Amino acid sequence: MPNPIEAAWLSAIEQRLPRTLEVDPDLDLRLVCGTDQAGQPMFCSISTHKPGIPELSDAVDVTRTQRSIDGNWVLLLTLKAPRFTDVFVQLCAHIVDRVSETSSEAQGLSAFIASVEEWRTLLQAPASQRFSLDAARGLFGELWAGFFNLVPVFQVSHVMDAWRGPFQSDQDFQFPGGPLIEVKTVHSRARRIQISSENQLNCLPYERLFVCLVAADDAMADTPGAMTIPALLDRIDRLLHDAGVAQSELVSRLAELRFDRSDDAYADMHFLPTGVRFFEVTGSFPRIEPSMLPAGVSRVSYSLDSADLAPFACDSLQLDLSAAGRAASSNES
C-alpha cells in the first residue's frame, strides 16, 4: 500500500472520522480503504465481477453488496475489534501487494480472495498463536508495572494474586481490600489511551481505581535498558523464587493469555520502558460508565487524551498503596 495512503488511513482510524481513500487508481481492481460512519477501519474491492464471500475471523465483518448506482460489486472488510488494528492494516497491505501483481480485474479479485484465505489460516492458528507487536507491548507493560513498580509496595505474592488481567477481569490488578489498577501501555509520544469497555474504569463507591500509564518504546537490541518479554519473565522467575511463590501461578496466567515464552519471535521484540504514571479515577475523571448507556448498549470502547488526565495525576500514590497494602496484609494474617 502506498505510504501516503496508509498514513492518511491510520490518521483517520486514530481520529475515528468517516473517510474513504482510493488506494491506487492504476490498479485493474479498485481498492478503497478508510473508516465507516462509526469510525471503524474498513477495506473493500469494487468490481464488475461478483466476488465470493471469504471467511476471515470473528474480529472482521465480511459483506458483499451490489451498488444500485452502477451495478458494481463491493466486497467489504470491516474491523470490529480495535485491538487488532495493526494486524488488519497489515492484512490490507498484503492484499494490495498481491493485487498489484495482477493484470486484470478478475485476477485481482482472485488475489484478494486468496490473500484473505491465507490470513484466515494464520488467524485461526492453534492456541499458542503469536502476539502482535502491540499485544506484546501491552503484556510487557503489565509485567513491568506489576512486578517492578508495585512489588516495592506490595509483596510479590500479593501482586501475583492481584494480577487478574489474564482472566478477563475488568482491571489488570485487583488487590483484595486495596486498589484496582488498570495498566495501559503506549509509546512515549502517544496521546491516545484506548479503553476497551464501559466497565474498565468503573468501580463500586468504596473502591479506589487507578490508571497506570506505562510508556514503552520499540527499541534495538543494543539500546541501554531495553528488554524483551522473555528476559523480563526470567527476572520475574527469580523474584517469585526468592519470595517462595509457586512458578505455576505465572505459568497458568501465561497459558490463559496463550503466550508462548519460548517462541523465538519474542526474542526480537525489544521494549524500552521510559516512564510510569498513575492517575486516580475519581470525581470528574473522563470516562464512560455502564449507568450512562441506554438499555441494550454495551461493550463500548473509546479513547482518552492523556493530556486531559493531568489533574488526576497521583504524586503520592505510593503512600496510598502502602496503606492499602498494609491493610490487605493485616487482613490475611
Domain 3-123, CATH number (from 3.30.1460, 1.25.40, 3.40.50, 1.10.10): 3.30.1460
Higher per-residue confidence, 130 vs 291: 291
Per-residue pLDDT tens digits for 83-112: 888 888 888 998 999 999 999 998 999 889
Note whether 47 and 30 are within 8 A (CB).
yes
Task: State the number of CA atoms in the 13 A half-sphere of 116 facing the CB.
Answer: 22
Report residue 101 as a C-alpha cell: 501483481
Question: Does this model's pTM top 0.75?
Answer: no
Q: Is pLDDT of 322 > 50?
A: no
- Per-residue model confidence (pLDDT) at position 291: 92
Whole-number percent of the chain with pLDDT over 70: 91
Per-residue pLDDT tens digits for 149-198: 998 788 999 999 999 999 889 999 998 877 899 999 999 989 999 999 99
The domain locations on the chain are 3-123, 133-332
Task: Give the integer Cα–Cα distance in Å for 86 and 203.
Answer: 31
**Beta carbons within 8 Å of 57's beta carbon, 6+ residues apart:** 120, 123, 124
- Per-residue model confidence (pLDDT) at position 34: 93
